[in-house]
């Protein structure tokens, strides 16, 4: 989560609403809650702006500015500013962060062949050695499987998606992204980040949910050693978003598609993931 400062400037209708019912000053908290944001501080201001809210929100919260302004359009004009703790900012300012790329050579034919040549060395030998038995269903939802990896800026925000945007603009067939951002340590799926939805909506790309089982058994979180375990990858039908779909709604659709399978797996066992994928075809 990232902190943001929201500055509100009431319109005439907003000022009248506040005078009639001062509790409306808290109503913004409900609106922000729908965007997975939590209000930390709420101030009424005596100056150019009328209200200031400090919120914890997803790192890609700023793209919602247009949607948020639309929700508050009858009440106030909104300014959204990313915020960072002063001590943390001083620490970051001393460092030199840099991610190489994107480079045009990365999508050349010879680079693709080179990655294919190193595929056994980097991934496949471990899959064949430790992932036994392997079950893959509905692979036909892909024209081809994702291959290779690329750097991201951890911590969220627009920079985390820059390379992904570039790859899609260059005609990349598939991007494999884990929306939880990390492996869950509980029996429930973690909250999905919005990166997948942002990419899908902006580029008009379909999302093919894939439910994995057994990966925690191959390499339990926090352990370096791998061990033999049964795994499965079950591909669900593609999700295509209609024009105008909001990012939170898109993320919710993806989450629910996988969460439905997740609940079946918890109740019926891992075979339920395969059954759900087969039913979707």
Enumerate domains of the chain plus CATH numbers. Answer: 2-91 (3.30.70.1060), 104-280 (no CATH)
* 72-95: pLDDT as tens digits: 666 677 788 878 888 877 777 776
Per-residue pLDDT at 109 exceeds 80: yes
Q: How confident is the model at residue 116 (pLDDT cuts 50, 70, 90)?
A: confident
Largest CA distance in the chain: 70
Per-residue pLDDT at 249: 93
82 contacts 62 by C-beta, under 8 angstroms: yes
Instruction: Give me the percent of the chain exceeding a pLDDT of 90.
Output: 15
Per-residue pLDDT at 3: 82
* Entry pTM: 0.62
Average pLDDT over residues 116-130: 85
Average pLDDT over residues 206-215: 91
14 contacts 76 by C-beta, under 8 angstroms: yes
Which has the higher per-residue pLDDT, 69 or 32?
32
Between CA 83 and CA 69, with CA 27 as vertex, the angle to 5 degrees is 60
Per-residue pLDDT at 146: 65
Per-residue pLDDT at 150: 73
Per-residue pLDDT at 142 exceeds 80: no
Q: Which of 15-19, 218-222, 243-247 has the least mean pLDDT?
A: 15-19
CA dihedral for 130, 127, 215, 133, sign (positive or negative): negative
Per-residue pLDDT at 106: 80
| 43 phi, psi to nearest 5 deg | -120, 140
Q: Rounded to whole angstroms, how far apart are CA atoms 208 and 255?
A: 12
Per-residue pLDDT at 255: 94
């Amino acid at each position: 989560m990232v902190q943001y400062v929201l500055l509100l400037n009431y319109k005439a209708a907003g000022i009248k609403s506040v005078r009639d019912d001062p509790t409306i000053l808290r109503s913004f908290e409900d609106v922000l809650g729908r965007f997975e944001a939590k209000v930390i501080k709420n101030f009424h201001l005596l100056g150019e702006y009328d209200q200031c809210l400090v919120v914890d929100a997803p790192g890609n919260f700023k793209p919602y500015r247009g949607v948020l302004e639309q929700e508050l359009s009858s009440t106030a004009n909104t300014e959204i500013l990313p915020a960072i703790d002063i001590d943390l900012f001083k620490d970051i300012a001393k460092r030199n962060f840099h991610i190489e790329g994107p480079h045009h050579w990365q999508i050349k034919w010879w680079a693709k062949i080179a990655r294919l040549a190193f595929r056994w060395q980097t991934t496949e030998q471990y899959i064949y050695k430790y992932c036994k038995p392997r079950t893959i269903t509905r692979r036909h939802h892909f024209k081809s499987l994702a291959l290779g990896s690329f750097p991201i800026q951890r911590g969220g925000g627009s920079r985390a998606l820059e390379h992904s945007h570039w790859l899609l603009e260059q005609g990349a067939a598939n991007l494999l992204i884990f929306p939880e951002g990390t492996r869950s340590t509980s029996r429930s799926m973690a909250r999905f980040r919005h990166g997948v939805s942002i990419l899908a909506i902006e580029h008009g790309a379909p999302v093919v949910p894939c439910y994995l089982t057994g990966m925690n058994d191959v390499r339990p979180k926090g352990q370096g050693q791998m061990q033999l375990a049964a795994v499965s990858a079950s591909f669900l039908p593609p999700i295509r978003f209609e024009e105008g779909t909001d990012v939170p709604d898109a993320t919710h659709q993806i989450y629910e598609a996988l969460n439905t399978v997740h609940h079946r797996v918890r109740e019926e066992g891992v075979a339920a993931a395969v059954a759900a994928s087969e039913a979707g075809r």
